[in-house]
Structure 1
Amino acid sequence: MVHLWVRSEARAHEERVGLTSQGAAKLIGAGFRVTVEESAQRILPVADYAGAGCEIAPEFSWVDAPDDAIIFGLKELPEDGTPLRHRHIMFGHAYKGQPAGQILLGRFKAGGGTLLDLEYLTDADGRRVAAFGYWAGYAGAAVSLMCWVSQQQGGIAGAVRAYPSANHMLAELQQSLVNLGTQRPTALIIGALGRVGTGAADLCQAMGVATRKWDMEETAHGGPFPEVLAHDIFLNCILARPGTPVFVPASAKVAARDLSVIGDIACDPDSDFSPIKVYDRTTTWEAPALRVHERPVLDVTAIDNLPSMLPAESSEDFAEQLLPHLLTLNAPDQGVWGRAKACFDRAVG
């Protein structure tokens, strides 16, 4: 029997979950054992999971889970340095040279556990089988627009928050634009045909932002890309990887430009392959904008759990994509899980 243990998220502002109660019921019906931890911040109530037949465990009790339990979460584990003995399904952010990722891999190696990284859960053609990308793009474009609005008011963007629904966020953002009158920015999206870019483009369209959409064809020449500097907002929706061109060089800070907001939605600033060279750290919900230059002003927003601003929609969407693959965990050395395990083995080897 496969034992899937859905842990509570330790990170602040992380209300998402990768399994709904309806999905849990399907797993239990297929012979799985499902344990769900209580959570002070999860968007979906634990009572729904209990009603679906799940076992309920105290918050953060996964550390004492049976050895054969597969621990399923989304964002990072507490950084306490303890060895990790379980199999973990999560976003590890550990395979691109990230310093924190190297520490995480060391913990797995010390404990004999395994990371099954959700970012590397792919089909036979290398395409990810489940992603939060659409809602990351949607929320990331919204935060970028909030940064631009704050600039027009002579300030810098204040704290962001989670919304009960996308419609609540749209209404608030639309009102802030109305307060500016007829002024609207222009935007350039790179990676516009992917999940992330589609979400970003949909948000821009909903807000009446004139948007230029680029994808592989427009970036194949490898740069430079002066068009980025000719738009008020640049939205990067391409994951950093070997061969990714530089879209915003360090010299952009002092260059002649219209660009005043960079939304690095892919958000991988400490990767060796980051295409945005004007900043070196993520931003936060409390301080979403990092001002990297004063005159002319240039802000970068790079929040690495954007979909949690819309936790209900993003959780339901992601869980629906992932469920068919969770149902194959009884064959962990095959298919998507076998490929994810191979990525881990290469990283620690």
Structure 2
Amino acid sequence: MPQHSQLWMRSETRPTERRAPLTPEDAARLVRRGVRITVEESGHRVFPLDAYAAAGCDLAPAGSWAGSAPGSAYVLGLKELPPVPERLHHRHVYFGHAYKGQAQAPELLRRFAAGGGTLLDLEYLADAQGRRLAAFGYWAGYVGAALAALRARGRLTAPLAALPRAELDARLRALPGERPLRALVIGVAGRSGRGARDALTTAGIEVTGWDRTASRRLDRAALLGHDILINAVLTTRPVPPFLTPADLDAAAGRRRLSVIADITCDTGSPLHLLPVYDRLTDWTVPARRLREGSPPLDVIAIDNLPSLLPAEAARAFSADLLPKLLALHAPSPDPDPDWLRCRDAFTTALAALPQDPYRAA
């Protein structure tokens, strides 16, 4: 981040997004290091606005970044941008979900191309070995598995609401245990997999964990022989799906599986590992029926799971992101290599658009 530039934390447009990419405590650390921070008002952020003011941040109305943030500002957020402005000229730091062939990806990338802006997608902020440096994975896995456990025991109610972890854990420990349940976590060694395993253990559910090797040598009969399936695998290249509609048809009458929780939510992408469903669920309708029968089969696919535990998730994420925000800000003749790789992913995605992304709109 050049000197005299600014970090501008925007409000989230999604009402169920209660997290923040930066906590007031970490904002204060950046301010003490000379970073100017503006924080927009929000009616649903878990941290109060006055805590950011006390940390030394400037305040601004919700959504004002488009017209008020200087061109040198890095606009920091988490989830999707609003549909306007159509031309994006700032450098945006958030989860863009635009590099895996998602249906909305070309439109978003063309907005950046039209305005000359840059997307620094937090999903692609990684070290030289490809390890993501700031992620919500653990809490996504934890909440997704918790919802699956509640659904499998008939205790998932809607609409969902954010709550403290202690309350969620109390609900998991209080689940009835009249019939033992078995859960399979694919990708158990990663952040999301570890979170899923911990939540299921809290719920008293037996956990089978598959790593990358086991997922490559997929035992589909064993997969269908579990009550709960948690997909915690993040892939960046097409691989054979774990479960297809044909697999479910072939297993009619022999399937034990009753709940799927897909943490990755790669619907509409060639990287979708569970093409048995094609629509996300949400806080209003957290589970959707895929198959009737005995047992019926439901899917949970919510793309902001950690927002159900917003304080815990935000604090962990902000602590991870803080060193990289300092690196983005520090004056240096050599740009931070992790941010360079993040920017290169954007440049590659622009180049892959079916027409010249720099053509004047």
TM range, smaller chain: over 0.9
Q: Which structure 2 residues correspond to residues 175-190 of structure 1 after superposition, within 5 A?
A: 175=174, 177-178=175-176, 181-190=177-186
Q: Which structure 2 residues correspond to residues 5-84 of structure 1 after superposition, within 5 A?
A: 5-64=8-67, 65-80=69-84, 82-84=86-88
SS of the residue corresponding to residue 265 of structure 2 reads coil
Alignment counterpart, residue 234 of structure 1, candidates 211, 229, 232 = 229
Contact 1:253/1:292 (8 A) holds in 2: no
Task: Give the structure 1 partner of residue 324 of structure 2.
Answer: 325
Whether 2:142 is the aligned partner of 1:138: answer yes
Q: Residue 269 of structure 1: CA displacement?
A: 1.6
CA distance in 1, matches of 2:324, 2:214: 34
Q: Residue 81 of structure 1: CA displacement?
A: 6.1
Whether 2:204 is the aligned partner of 1:208: answer yes
CA distance in 1, matches of 2:42, 2:213: 45
SS of the residue corresponding to residue 327 of structure 2 reads coil
User: Per-residue displacement from partner, 1:116-152 (whole Å, max 9, x unpaired)?
Assistant: 00000001111100100000000000111122122xx
Whether 2:116 is the aligned partner of 1:91: answer no
Q: Which runs of 5+ in 2 are unaligned?
A: 352-361
TM-score normalised according to structure 1 size: 0.94
User: Per-residue displacement from partner, 1:310-343 (whole Å, max 9, x unpaired)?
Assistant: 0000000000011000001135943211111000
Task: Give the structure 2 partner of residue 343 of structure 1.
Answer: 345
Q: Which structure 2 residues correspond to residues 266-285 of structure 1 after superposition, within 5 A?
A: 266-285=264-283
Task: Give the structure 1 partner of residue 359 of structure 2.
Answer: none
SS of the residue corresponding to residue 111 of structure 2 reads helix
CA distance in 2, matches of 1:310, 1:102: 32
Stretch moving more, 189-198 or 266-275: 266-275
Stretch moving more, 26-35 or 67-76: 26-35
TM-score normalised according to structure 2 size: 0.91
Task: Give the structure 1 partner of residue 354 of structure 2.
Answer: none
Contact 1:28/1:53 (8 A) holds in 2: yes
Stretch moving more, 313-322 or 12-21: 12-21
Stretch moving more, 292-301 or 204-213: 292-301
Q: Residue 209 of structure 1: CA displacement?
A: 0.1
Contact 1:252/1:278 (8 A) holds in 2: no
Whether 2:174 is the aligned partner of 1:170: answer no
Identity %: 46
Contact 1:239/1:268 (8 A) holds in 2: no
User: Per-residue displacement from partner, 1:77-109 (whole Å, max 9, x unpaired)?
Assistant: 113461111000000000000011221111111
Q: Residue 220 of structure 1: CA displacement?
A: 2.9
Alignment counterpart, residue 225 of structure 1, candidates 220, 227, 237 = 220
Q: Which runs of 5+ in 1 are unaligned?
A: none
CA distance in 1, matches of 2:230, 2:41: 36
Task: Give the structure 2 partner of residue 309 of structure 1.
Answer: 308
CA distance in 2, matches of 1:80, 1:218: 45
Q: Residue 348 of structure 1: CA displacement?
A: 0.5
Q: Residue 157 of structure 1: CA displacement?
A: 5.3
Contact 1:138/1:201 (8 A) holds in 2: yes
Contact 2:328/2:339 (8 A) holds in 1: yes
CA distance in 2, matches of 1:253, 1:262: 12
Contact 2:150/2:172 (8 A) holds in 1: yes
Contact 2:238/2:270 (8 A) holds in 1: no
